[in-house]
Amino acid sequence: MISAGDFRNGVTLEIDGNVCQIVEFQHVKPGKGAAFVRTKIKDIINGGVTERTFRPTEKFPTARIDRKDMQYLYSDGDVYNFMDTESYEQIGLNSDVIGDALKFVKENEMVKVCSYNGNVFSVEPPLFVELTITETEPGFKGDTATGATKPATVETGAQVAVPLFVNEGDVIKIDTRTGEYLSRA
C-alpha cells in the first residue's frame, strides 16, 4: 500500500479498480483547510490521463507491472508476433494493443512487453534506434541559415524531420519517445 503523501512520478497503483501511473504530482498546503495532493494520473490500460486530488492519508495498493524483454519477429496483417528469447515462447498481439509503438522498430529487435496480471497492455520500444534513410530529397546549398529540416522516410516506413545535410542511405539515430532525429550514426 502507498499513501497519497508518498506519490512519486512513475509509480503504478490501483485506483478504483483501474491500473494507473502517476504522471505528475504536487503537494498543496493552502492557507486554510487541510493539505492535499494534486495529481495527473494515466490509466495504463486505455491511455487516458485525468487530474485528481487526494488527501495525503489515502492509501492505494501498488500495481505490479511485468516488463519482459521480447524479440519482435514480424507482423502478419494486424497481428504482431513476439518471442521470449529465454523460453522461445511466441505471442501474437493485435494492432490495437501495439498502437504506434513499433513505428521505429525493425524486425528482430528487442522490445519490452508490459503486462498486468498476465494481460498484455502495451509494448515499449527501445529508447533510441538506428535506422537507414530510404527516401529524402537532396538539401540545397545555402539553405541552412536557421537549422532547416526536410522530411525523410526511414526503413520502417515512418516519417522523420532531418537536417538538410542528411542523404538517402545515411544511418541516423532516432529518439522513439518523440520521433526526433538525434544524430547520424
Predicted TM-score of the model (pTM): 0.70
Mean pLDDT on 111-118: 85
Contact 150/144 with Cβ under 8 angstroms?
A: no
Residue 45's domain is classified under what CATH number?
A: 2.30.30.30
Report CA dihedral (61, 10, 125, 120) to the nearest 10 degrees.
10
Residue 77: give the domain boundaries: 66-124
pLDDT tens digits along 35-80: 999 999 988 877 788 999 999 888 999 888 888 899 999 888 888 8
Amino acid at 54: F
User: What is the total count of domains within the chain?
Assistant: 3
pLDDT tens digits along 124-179: 888 888 989 888 888 666 655 667 788 899 988 889 988 888 888 889 999 888 88
Who's near 136: CB < 8 A, 6+ residues apart?
Answer: 150, 151, 152, 153, 162, 166, 167, 168
Domain boundary (60, 85, 103) is at 60
Are 99 and 141 in a shared domain? Answer: no
Q: Which of 83, 80, 100, 84 is closest to 92 using CA atoms?
A: 80
| 116: β partners | 119
Distance CA 113, CA 122 (A): 6
Give the max Cα distance, the chain: 64
Domain boundary (90, 105, 124) is at 124
Domain boundary (124, 139, 168) is at 124
Are 77 and 49 in a shared domain? Answer: no
Task: Read off φ and ψ for residue 181, nearest 5 degrees.
Answer: -70, 135
Are 10 and 51 in a shared domain? Answer: yes
Are 56 and 79 in a shared domain? Answer: no
Are 152 and 115 in a shared domain? Answer: no
Q: In which order are the strands placed within the sheet that holds 110-116?
A: 90-94, 79-84, 66-76, 110-116, 119-124
> Which residue matches cell numbers 495504463?
44
Are 46 and 85 in a shared domain? Answer: no
Cell of 62: 501498488
Residue 166 pLDDT:
84
Residue 180's domain is classified under what CATH number?
A: 2.40.50.140
